[in-house]
Amino acid sequence: MRNLAFILFFVSGFICAQTTTPAFFGNNMVLQQNNTVAIWGEDKPESTVKLETSWGVDKSTITNLDGTWRIEFETQAGSFLKQDLKIKGTSFLHYTNILVGEVWFCSGQSNMEMPMKGVNNSPINNSNQFLLDSKNPNIRLFDTERKGTLKPDTDVIGIWEEANAVSVKEFSAIGYIFAKNIQEKIKVPIGIISSAWGGTKIEAWMPQEILLEYDDIKISKVLEDKPYKRRTPSQIFNGMIHPFKDFKIKGFLWYQGESNRDQEKPELYKNYMNTLVKSWRNQWADTTLPFYFVQIAPYAYEKRSKSSKFKVALIREAQLKASEEIPNSGLVVTSDVGNCTDIHPAEKETIANRLSYWALAKQYGYTGIWFKSPVYKSMEVEKNKIIISFDFGLDINSGLSSYGKEINGFTIAASDGVFYPAKVIIDAKQTLTVYSENVQEPVAVRYGFQDCIKGSLYSLGKLPISPFRTDNWLE
């Protein structure tokens, strides 16, 4: 009887089999233009699955013994022409209102997840105007539902939606504004995927096999049910990143780091960033995918944590160093758009704009624009002063400006390691002269090396310089 029951169950499984695809294949989706893309799913084992598109693709395959199938095909250049796609297996799928264009993937914690409507009592500047202007059928949004899993999953929960006041209100403000900026400039459809979760550590977003390289990270063998289970290493990667494996995209946007501020060695965050980017690019089988990320913004963390007052500054430093080491990456500096009393600053438009500058300059051929913040390069002691030089990148010649405001946030120290507030002069040679009456034999300068500052120094394109230090006394 047990064998008969098994046979009946096995046969009923075949009878009930139907053609399925992951949630990110569906109505309103955007497919990456000018590329070889794939659609995959499940069906009855060893059955035929046929795919047809309105732009002329006609392909079929036989499902594997485990019922999985995959079909690759070419996409055309981006177009506003609405397309449809049909999949015929043991059942029939018909996806409509499809566009071909550019697809970007944004992830991280709460400041990336933060929707246009704001969160709790934290608003988004100009949100109502963005909502008023949001109706655009050529921008498509996919918001991934939060999920952690013990093993790598193959599907997510979410649907593609056209941009309008209802959908944009609930979507990542940074992701939407970035998509809006790109769409207006390059005049092709844009798909933006948000897969973010507030309060998460970077370790949660990386695959287990990579994390095994780190002795300081413990891998849980259970799906933990506790308030901070979202911080469990690998489990959010399993549930919210791995399912998108091989879904063709143009690049990544990342905003995370606040939850790593209390780790014992903040400098390790640089290694984590290198590992995360490498593992994601490997998953998408494209080592050249651009990765643009955001430095954590100023906030008075010391009022909420007993951690070292320099840990936040060291996370920012690690982010800067990671951006210099990781090929095809770029850093958005936020030293001027934080809020000392709100960990969710309202100025998401500025951040999204700066992410857009990187993409427009590097992926879409916009030459002559500023996109990279000046970076500290070297120092030279001249009597009781220190001369600071910056690297402005190869993109455009630049200078420095405080835009008429007082320059603050600089400190200077002698060999005793005691830092004093410093005065700063912008020199004609694109350098800074830093000095203090309290320091006659200076050896080190720091800028913005604290939890909360108000950035005051910019390139001529009004991109703020990153906080930095010239010493290594904190190692």
pLDDT (tens digit per residue) in 356-365: 999 999 999 9
Predicted pLDDT at 277: 98
**Residue 170 corresponds to which tokens in the numbers above?**
């609930």
DSSP 316-366: HHHHHHHHHHSTTEEEE--TTS--TT-SS-S-HHHHHHHHHHHHHHHTS--
Can you tell me the distance from the alpha carbon of 466 to that of 450, in angstroms, rounded to the nearest whole number?
12
CB 252 within 8 A of CB 290: yes
Q: Which of 351, 353, 365, 362 is nearest to 393 (CA)?
A: 362
Considering the chain, what percentage of its residues have pLDDT values greater than 90? 85
pLDDT band at 221 (very low <50, low <70, confident <90, very high): confident
Can you tell me the distance from the alpha carbon of 169 to that of 171, in angstroms, rounded to the nearest whole number?
6
Predicted pLDDT at 65: 97
**What angle is formed at CA 398 by the lines to CA 315 and CA 375, rounded to 5 degrees?**
20
CB 465 within 8 A of CB 333: yes
Tell me if residue 384 falls in helix, strand or coil.
Answer: coil
CB 203 within 8 A of CB 235: no
Can you tell me the distance from the alpha carbon of 333 to that of 353, in angstroms, rounded to the nearest whole number?
12
Predicted pLDDT at 10: 42
pLDDT tens by residue, 141-191: 999 999 999 999 999 999 999 999 999 999 999 999 999 999 999 999 999
pLDDT tens by residue, 243-261: 999 999 999 999 999 999 9
How do strand 458-459 and strand 400-401 relate by DSSP bridges?
A: antiparallel
Neighbours of 224 (CB within 10 A): 15
Can you tell me the distance from the alpha carbon of 149 to that of 216, in angstroms, rounded to the nearest whole number?
21
Can you tell me the distance from the alpha carbon of 443 to that of 474, in angstroms, rounded to the nearest whole number?
15
pLDDT band at 223 (very low <50, low <70, confident <90, very high): confident
pLDDT band at 227 (very low <50, low <70, confident <90, very high): low
Q: How far is CA 430 from CA 331, 382, 411, 433, 441, in A?
A: 21, 16, 19, 10, 23
pLDDT band at 1 (very low <50, low <70, confident <90, very high): very low
Q: Which residues pair with 423 in a beta bridge?
A: 435
